[in-house]
Structure 1
Amino acid sequence: MPAVSLIYKARVIALVESGMSYGQVAVAMGIPKSTIYSIVQKRRREQTIVRRPGSGERQISSLAQYEPLVSEIKRSPFAIAASAAATTRFPGSTKTARRRIRTAGIRNYVAARKVGLTPRHKELRLGFALEQFVHDNDFWNRIVFSDEKTFQSSPNCRLRVYRPRNTRYEPQYVQEEDRSRRFSVNM
């Protein structure tokens, strides 16, 4: 059950006792129906809605404390949660910081890579394509394509990025590379 304040719990009980269904109370209060059910069941079982002592810790951070953390991650999405927490002096642990970032709808993904082409590269590629465009089908029927193996000349360091869902190829979340550091060998 998500943490719900005592005032919210009392309001839930009052609405249920006034005759509203769990679904109606959930919509009115903006909390899940399962939480409404848990609150009512606890009231019936224990005759109270107050938390038992030692039944889990309260949140260390408040909304005012984790808004700067989320803003920092939005400002520099390639940062790691630990450095963002340290920069913003977030009071909780790194694990808690990651949870707060996730609550804000931002998740950690592997960054998409984009090889940065210079204008010279673009001209050369266009020139090559235009040169090959003039050949007819007889020419292409005589071409034999062989298998290629691709090797990478540097370690595969997958950079991670914090970003909202469905924003993989937005420029601020893409890892730019000068070159691919890959080469092919015909076998």
Structure 2
Amino acid sequence: MPAVSLINKARVIALVESGMSYGQVAVAMGIPKSTIYSIVQKWRREQTIVRRPGSGGRQVSTLAQDEALVSKIKRRPFATAASAAATTRFPGSTKTARRRIRTAGIRNYVAARKVRLTPRHKELRLGFALEHFVHDNDFWNRVVFSDEKTFQSSPNGRLRVYRPRNTRYEPQYVCSRGRPKRASHS
């Protein structure tokens, strides 16, 4: 359950002090009865509803270092978190660098791949579209398109890219490549 906001904590205190029971306040606010009890006890004990600072360790990077890391990834989305951390001299670990990048709303995805089209390819595609533009749905229902299966013999794995959500096909995040060398097998 998410943390109870300060406004809701103040409402809880006001409702309890107006005479409502913990159970009635819990039902009215949609907050568990045990949480209502904890809020009221803290109020009675410390006269405050504000949380104490967390007990976690200190943050290893400053806001400026975090921003430098994120801007490096935005400028070079195909870079790795480790290389961006090294070039920006990020003081934390690679795992911390990845966390800071993710907090900025940028995630690591497999890059979309797109074959670079030459002017000749574009001309041929436009010609095909114009030639078959006149056909109706009955014609297209009888057409079967098939894809060729290509195999890659290089050891390169899938290329990854850091990008915000829903930006898969934006040009800066797409891996453009030349026409593949194909070999057929029958």
Specify the TM-score bucket, using the shorter chain as the normaliser: 0.5 to 0.7
In structure 2, the residue matched to 1:153 is 152
Query: TM-score, structure 2 length as denominator?
Result: 0.62
Aligned length: 149
What are structure 2's unaligned runs of at least 5 residues? Answer: 1-5, 14-30
Cα deviation, 1:116-155, whole Å, max 9, x if unaligned, reads 101022223444566x649x99xx8xx9979775132334
For residues 1-187 of structure 1, what are the structure 2 equivalents within 5 Å? 19-21=10-12, 44=42, 55-127=55-127, 133=132, 150-155=149-154, 157-183=157-183, 185=185
Contact 1:153–1:181 (CA<8 Å) still a contact in 2? no
**Identity %, equivalent residues:** 62
Change (3 A) 1:60 1:112: same
Corresponding letter in the other structure for 1:150: K
Contact 1:154–1:181 (CA<8 Å) still a contact in 2? no
User: 1: CA distance between counterparts of 2:115 and 2:65?
Assistant: 38
Aligned partner of residue 152 in structure 1, secondary structure: coil
Query: TM-score, structure 1 length as denominator?
Result: 0.61
What are structure 1's unaligned runs of at least 5 residues? Answer: 1-11, 23-32
The Cα RMSD (Å) is 4.1
User: 2: CA distance between counterparts of 1:145 and 1:97?
Assistant: 48
Question: 1:88, CA displacement in angstroms?
Answer: 0.7
Corresponding letter in the other structure for 2:152: S
Instruction: Report the structure, 1 or 2, having the larger strand content.
Output: 1
Contact 1:115–1:177 (CA<8 Å) still a contact in 2? yes
User: 2: CA distance between counterparts of 1:116 and 1:105?
Assistant: 29
Cα deviation, 1:160-182, whole Å, max 9, x if unaligned, reads 11001111111111110111345
Contact 1:150–1:182 (CA<8 Å) still a contact in 2? no
